[in-house]
Amino acid sequence: MLESKLTSNIAGVDNVRMLGRFFVSALKTLMDRENIAKRRKKGLNINDSLFNFVKLTFLENAVLKYRRMVQFGDQVVLDSTFPPFPSVAFDKRIMNYVNNLDMKEVPTGIVSISTTNCCPYSCPFCSTNARRVTSNDLDEELLKTTITAVEEMGVPSIILHGGEPMYRYDRFLRLVKHVNSDTCLWMFTSGYGVTQERAGELKQNGIFGAWVSLDHFDPDVHNSFRGSPKAFDRACEAIKFFKRAGVYTCLSLVPPDDLLKPENFIKYYDLAKSLGVAEIRVMEKKPSGREAERGVLAHSPLLANLQKKLYADPRYANHPPLSGLSTWLEKDQALGCQCRFEYLFITSTGDVQPCEVSEVTFGNIKEEPFQTIYSRISKSFSRCSTGCIPMVMYPEIREYQKDKPRMSYLEKTDSAAKIIEGFQEKGSIPGAYSPIWSYYEKRLKLFHKRQAAKQKSD
């Protein structure tokens, strides 16, 4: 049976109450006997645990600084990159934070998996480029094995996408069914192939949320980008179908140049509200894929300022919140690049990358188990850093792409590690972490000393 859930932004007294509920929930997780036992086994003491609890507060404040939480039925969503509260996946996410001191050991928040390289559209900023050859897609059983491995490592959220995942719907549905019901499961789609029946079937088999790509408020502009006269209508229909099915429905936007003008972005913003979406994921163009030829384009200061103004303006209090906006998140005062800590990406050819646009591989699931590759990439990310990998390391990544066809498997992974090392050296500690970073380093040093002493005594 299809179920429609209304969404509404949380503000005022309700916002304070909700923050209080989060605090109590996190405190219960901290004091849970099983979690206490896990921390003791790892060698964490009470001060380490309290530090982790405080760190959660800093991260929460950064996420919610310029966006409102969303009430979705009987659940609340801080941000579309975080599982809804209450849920098993939410508890797992909090547990991962409080039970691990070393950031290299905290399980990734989301693993995003490309289930197919096929797509009927030809968007200029996408590397899929309207390929329709299904024989090049990853083996279905390999994808299922990888999904299981991701879940066993404690990752609370998984995204399944393409290309266009609905292009191979039956296969996509089997993969959706394979995901554990305790995992927060998302999907990306252009809207192609979405029907009311399929939306309901996906919801009933575990899909919590869907991002639907919509590039512009003008149907002709969107259709031109996508290379199809039906793209705009399909996207709007998909939004309607997902909402009716009870799916947490969001827009995904890579703003074209004219949407960088506030008056045009507000037209898009008004359209989003009229469509009834829960939030909007805004990602600026990055120098990767075909967009790499344009070089590095600076983040838009207009978008950064607009996000703050829209958040503060009471006229837009009930509009869908903006999430993922790199003009804010990657800057000094926020979270910085969240690759590995909050996000990992597996391409349609099996490469494990920090994100879609970084284009450096730490291994391939066709060659090695995901667990082995995950261990390798975790060692390379010792801390968060301000900036965006393909923007900060543009020359090095372009050189990497040029040499990649001639490199051995080991050379590719070693080069990727060096690029990330260079990225961290050029960046600084993001604002959400900087007030506690020196204390974290001291705690980490003592923690490692205790671990070494314990290993020596054993």
**Which secondary structure element, helix H or strand E, spans residue 75, and what is its range?**
strand 75-77
Q: Report the C-alpha gap between 424 and 418 in whole angstroms.
A: 10
Residue with tokens 């207009």: 302
- In this prediction, residue 62 carries a pLDDT of 80
Q: What is the pLDDT of residue 314?
A: 95
Contact 37, 280 (CB under 8 A): no
What are the residues whose beta carbons fall under 8 Å from the beta carbon of 123, sequence distance 6 or more?
215, 225, 226, 227
**Nearest 5°: phi and psi at 210?**
-135, 135
Please report the DSSP string for 186-247 in residue order.
EEEE-STT--HHHHHHHHHTTEEEEEEE---SSHHHHHHHHT-TTHHHHHHHHHHHHHHTT-
Report which residue type is found at 256.
P
d(CA 164, CA 441): 43
Question: Rounded to an integer, what distance in angstroms lies between the CA atom of residue 320 and that of residue 306?
Answer: 14
Strand order in the sheet with 70-72: 7-9, 70-72, 75-77
pLDDT at 327: 57
Task: Please tell me the predicted confidence (pLDDT) of residue 332.
Answer: 58
pLDDT at 61: 82
What pLDDT score does 234 carry?
Answer: 98
Relative to beta strand 352-353, strand 343-346 is: antiparallel
What SS3 state is found at 131?
Answer: coil
Give the DSSP H or E segment for 353. strand 352-353
- Measured from the Cβ of residue 20, the count of other Cβ atoms closer than 10 Å reads 10
pLDDT of res. 65? 82
> How far is 182 from 46, CA to CA, in rounded Å?
29
> What DSSP letter does each residue of 37-61 carry, written as one string?
HHHHHHT--HHHHHHHHHHHHHHHH
Cα–Cα distance for residue pair 232/2, rounded to 1 Å: 24
Give the per-residue pLDDT at 68: 93
Q: Provide the 10 A C-beta neighbour count for residue 306.
A: 21
pLDDT digits (tens, 9 = 90+) for 164-199: 999 999 999 999 999 999 999 999 999 999 999 999
In angstroms, the CA 293 to CA 284 distance is 16
Burial of residue 367 (number of CB atoms within 10 Å: 0-12, 13-18, 19+): exposed
Residue 330 has what pLDDT?
55
What are the backbone angles phi and psi of residue 101, rounded to the nearest 5°?
-90, -50
pLDDT score, position 250:
97
- Give the type of residue at 382: S
Q: State the Cα–Cα distance between residues 202 and 196, nearest whole angstrom.
A: 10
State residue 302's pLDDT score.
79
Q: Are 22 and 97 in contact (CB under 8 A)?
A: no
Mean pLDDT by 10 residues, the chain (458 residues): 78 93 93 94 91 87 86 94 94 94 94 94 69 87 98 97 94 98 97 98 98 97 94 98 97 90 94 96 82 79 83 94 68 78 94 94 98 96 89 94 96 97 93 90 93 80
Query: What's the pLDDT score for residue 366?
Result: 98
What Rg value do the Cα atoms of the chain yield, rounded? 21
H helix intervals, 81-204? 88-98, 140-152, 169-178, 196-204
Burial of residue 125, with CB atoms counted within 10 A of its CB: 0-12 exposed, 13-18 middle, 19 or more buried: middle
Q: Are 131 and 158 in contact (CB under 8 A)?
A: no
* 176 and 160 Cβ atoms separated by less than 8 Å: yes
pLDDT computed for residue 269 by the predictor: 97
Give residue for tokens 């019901």: 181
